[in-house]
């Protein structure tokens, strides 16, 4: 599907939900895509991208940014504390703040560097053992902890279990965000971004629907 078609679907979902146009931002997930495809999307004027790995992003975005200095890149994948400093220099936002140790590391680095990307707390809405993220029952305490560390937390993020109706997870995430006073909602991927917009997503993360299947 083209970027234009996806943007039109988002606008339609926003209107149907009575939300203003542009309420949900489209993050084009460029992980493991050939450079030529990413450049096509940059050439179409799109400027917000998502990556899963620090290493991969470090290999391409500093180069893309020489030509497109206003491109913004968000980290969507898990972040190891030993890569946190590098991530802070590369990304405009991090969607995977998922544990106290990472919060403490980011807070210390933010002090040292004098800046910090905007942060989304990843919530394990499906309470899956193999998935990272803060459990719904622990989210309020974690938000308080991050706020005591002066971290710029702007919202919550989730990746629903593959075999469940994502809308239930989007609704839960929206409820948790309302309860903790956070306005950002990073939810919805290629297969379910319209449902996420209907339930209040402020950021949808769409990869394969824009770029085609990934190069594994």
Ligand X SMILES: *Cc1c(COP(=O)(O)O)cnc(C)c1O
Binding interface with ligand X (CB under 6 A) = 29, 31, 52, 76-77, 159, 189-190, 205-209
**CB of 53 or CB of 86, closer to ligand X:** 53
Closest approach, Cβ 171 to ligand X, in A, equals 18
User: Distance between CA 209 and CA 165 in Å, rounded?
Assistant: 19
Tokens 């179409």 map to which residue?
A: 44
Give which of 74, 125, 141 is closest to 133, Cα–Cα.
Answer: 125
For residues 77 and 51, the answer to whether their CB atoms sit within 8 Å is: yes
Q: Which residue is nearest to ligand X (CB)?
A: 207
User: Distance between CA 53 and CA 161 in Å, rounded?
Assistant: 21
For 81, counting Cβ atoms within 10 Å of its Cβ (0-12 exposed, 13-18 middle, 19+ buried), the class is: middle
Closest approach, Cβ 189 to ligand X, in A, equals 4
**CB of 32 or CB of 85, closer to ligand X:** 32
Closest approach, Cβ 68 to ligand X, in A, equals 21
Closest approach, Cβ 124 to ligand X, in A, equals 13
**CB of 133 or CB of 200, closer to ligand X:** 133
User: Distance between CA 188 and CA 157 in Å, rounded?
Assistant: 9
**CB of 69 or CB of 213, closer to ligand X:** 213
């Amino acid at each position: 599907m083209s970027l234009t078609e996806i943007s039109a679907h988002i606008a339609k979902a926003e209107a149907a939900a009575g939300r203003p146009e542009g309420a949900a931002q489209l993050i084009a997930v460029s992980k493991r895509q050939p450079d030529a495809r990413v450049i096509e999307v940059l050439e179409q004027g799109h400027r917000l991208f998502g990556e899963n790995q620090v290493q991969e992003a470090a290999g391409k975005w500093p180069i893309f940014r020489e030509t497109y200095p206003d491109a913004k890149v968000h980290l969507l994948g898990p972040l190891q504390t030993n890569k946190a400093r590098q991530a802070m220099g590369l990304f405009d936002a991090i969607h995977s703040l998922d544990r106290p140790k990472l919060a403490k590391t980011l807070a210390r680095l933010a002090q040292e560097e004098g800046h910090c990307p905007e942060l989304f707390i990843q919530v394990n809405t499906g309470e899956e053992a193999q998935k990272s993220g803060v459990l719904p029952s622990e989210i309020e305490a974690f938000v308080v902890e991050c706020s005591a560390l002066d971290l710029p937390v702007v919202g919550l993020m989730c990746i629903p279990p593959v075999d469940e109706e994502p809308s239930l997870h989007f609704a839960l995430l929206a409820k948790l965000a309302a309860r903790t006073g956070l306005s950002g909602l990073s939810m919805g991927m290629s297969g379910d971004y319209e449902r996420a917009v209907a339930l209040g997503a402020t950021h949808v993360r769409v990869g394969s629907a824009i770029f085609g299947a990934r190069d594994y």
